[in-house]
Structure 1
Amino acid sequence: MSKPLCLAKADYFPSGLMPVAIADRAPQQTFPSHIHEFCELVIVWRGNGLHVMNDRPWLITCGDLFYISPEDCHSYESVNELVLDNVIYCPERFRLGLDWSQFLPQEKKAWRLTTRGMALARSVIQQLAQESAKSDRLSRQLTEALFLQLVLILQRHRYAADVAWQLPEGEQLDLLMSAIQGQLAHFDLSDFCLQHQLSERALKQLFRQQTGMTPGQYLRQLRMCKAKFLLRSTPSLIGDVAALCGFEDSNYFSVVFTRETGMTPSAFRQQFEQHRQKKAAAW
């Protein structure tokens, strides 16, 4: 089995002392499985794509936030005008003497960021990009201080799908995305707009402008991601996977899955069973 690429610190930092660097990905191209010698924050600004992290596929679009450690293996596939920033950092180079585990999640690594949080984070990242490109002592200190500001903003404005309804009513896009993720099997856009007194047409336009997808396409792709995850990681029957992903008819699920992936659910599952067997044999 071939090992994933390993991205080296020396290729991304201006000096061996700088603790943070910004890797602007505008656009982010497809990228094979890789690990890093450093930690990374990934913030998605617009577009969409498939982010596979530790063998789990995530459909990503504006507002998605990931905390990635050197042990995490990830890749980007099926990208569509995907724009993101990689904020890369080396904890051992920090000098403020803080307990960074207070601000950087150790377990849950996939979050979403509110629209307000994205605006605040973007401003700090722009300053970080300027300071982290230098190598003098003052720039290193400013870079660490700005990084602290960034992680505090992320801590305040990040959220998970299961607490979606705690979001402010004014965050229309955040409310919609969270509702879709929280009600993946039974989401209805018309009911959502009626409940929150929103214009369905205007919300569709806003969603497409920010993500490059319609709400229906986003919902379908999320269901496909969940189906892929269940097929590759659980022994659940195909019919049960279909039901968990919002498909009442398992035959229709198979048709949609085959159209989206180019293989049947059974064939998709089989390739990962073969992969696990080869991996076990290699060990």
Structure 2
Amino acid sequence: MTLILAREDYFPSPSMPVAVADRSPQPSFPPHSHQFSEIVMVWRGNGLHVLNDRPWRVTCGDLFYIKDQDCHSYDSVNDLVLDNILYCPDRFKLGLNWSQLLPLNDSKQPAHWRLTTRGMALARGVIKQLEQESRKSDLLSLQLTEALFLQLALILRRHRYAAEGQQRLPEGEQLDLLMATIQANPGHQLDLAGFCQQNKLSERALKQLFRQQTGMTIGHYVRQLQLCQARHLLRSRDCLISEVAARCGFDDSNYFSVVFTRETGMTPTEWRQRFMNAARAGTEKQRPALAGRPLS
């Protein structure tokens, strides 16, 4: 049974539309949903974030919009530091079309984005103010909290970019350029030396910066992205193991099986069968109820 987090446990008053939950660090947390929506911003470290059964290897700069009906969890965390900005759309008083800024009921908009280094710096300052004001309950604080949340939503809108898309980023942001390159082609081998030469970057300095911000080497991060993609494909697509391996950047399907088993404790076939059995069990549970219905 999925854990449901209640509004009264996180908001200081029934009128407050926004609250900030500082997770420093974020521990492993079982699957859960909320009676509110939230924005997840990752500042440091890394971990496995599973959103609606899809795994994401997250690190600094990752941004998620979680709706109240979504289910997510955290696992395999390593010094993972993030902020949860909780909000209740039904409590907003400003006459705004929030759907232009937040994916409230739009299932077509991606839930996962990346935030530029500049955007992270701007957002951090607003979140600190938001955290202070959202702890109060007077009318002025309620109004200022919603205004600050609007400012945050606008910053995120301007400085976010699609995690799996290709687009131009501001020059000079080394980590942003690298992350965008990696995530645009997670199934391809990264030519780090060529990337650094093309963008006039120091390979050694970039490696140090990446390790400092994420807690991982670049190679380990790329491998984790590939394995997350493999988990998703094994569950959602009916294709051969060798095809999954190739799409996730593994030339040898046997080596892919070894790496996947070492990471998950299951072979790719066992991983796929696990979810097939779960789906079959859910179908079996529904049959008695259907069988008992009178014919029309």
With normalisation by structure 2, the TM-score equals: 0.93
Matching residue of 1:113: 115
2:266 alignment partner, one of 255, 263, 266: 263
- Which runs of structure 1 show a deviation greater than 2 angstroms over 4 or more consecutive aligned residues? 161-165, 279-283
Q: Does 2:65 correspond to 1:62? A: no
The one-letter code of the counterpart of 1:206 is L
- Displacement of 1:163 in angstroms is 4.1
Segments of 5+ residues of structure 2 without an aligned counterpart are 287-296
Query: Of 146, 155, 169, which aligns to 2:148?
Result: 146
- Distance in 2 (CA, whole Å) between partners of 1:123 and 1:217 is 31
**Structure 1, residues 158-215: CA drift from partner, whole Å, max 9, x if none?**
0013544400121110110111111212222122112111111100000000000010
Question: Which whole-Å deviations, capped at 9, do the CAs of 1:76-125 have from their partners, x for residues lacking one?
Answer: 01000000000000011110011100101332111000000000001000
* 1:279 to partner: Cα distance: 2.2
Q: Please, which of 204, 211, 226 is the counterpart of residue 207 of structure 2? A: 204
The 5 Å alignment of 1:1-283 reads: 3-105=1-103, 106=106, 107-186=109-188, 187-283=190-286
CA deviation digits over 1:32-76, x for unaligned, max 9?
A: 000100010000000000000000000000000000111100000
Report the Cα distance in structure 1 between the residues aligned to 2:285 and 2:134, rounded to whole angstroms.
41
**What is the rounded CA distance, in whole Å, between the counterparts of 1:129 and 1:280 in structure 2?**
45
Q: Residues 18 and 53 (structure 1 numbering): CA distance in 2 closer, same or farther, change over 3 Å?
A: same
Q: Which moved more, 1:28-37 or 1:269-278?
A: 269-278
Paired residue type of 1:26: S
In the superposition, the TM-score normalised over structure 1's length comes to 0.97
Q: What do residues 124-156 of structure 1 show as CA deviations (whole Å, max 9, x unaligned)?
A: 000000000000000000000000000000000
C-alpha contact 2:112 2:163 (8 A) present in aligned 1: no
Q: Distance in 2 between matches of 1:84 and 1:268?
A: 29
Task: Report the more deviating stretch, 103-112 or 197-206.
Answer: 103-112
Q: RMSD of the alignment, in Å?
A: 1.0
Which runs of no fewer than 5 residues in structure 1 stay unpaired?
none
Residue aligned with 2:93, SS: coil
2:135 aligned partner, one-letter code: A
The structure having more radius of gyration, on CA atoms, is 2
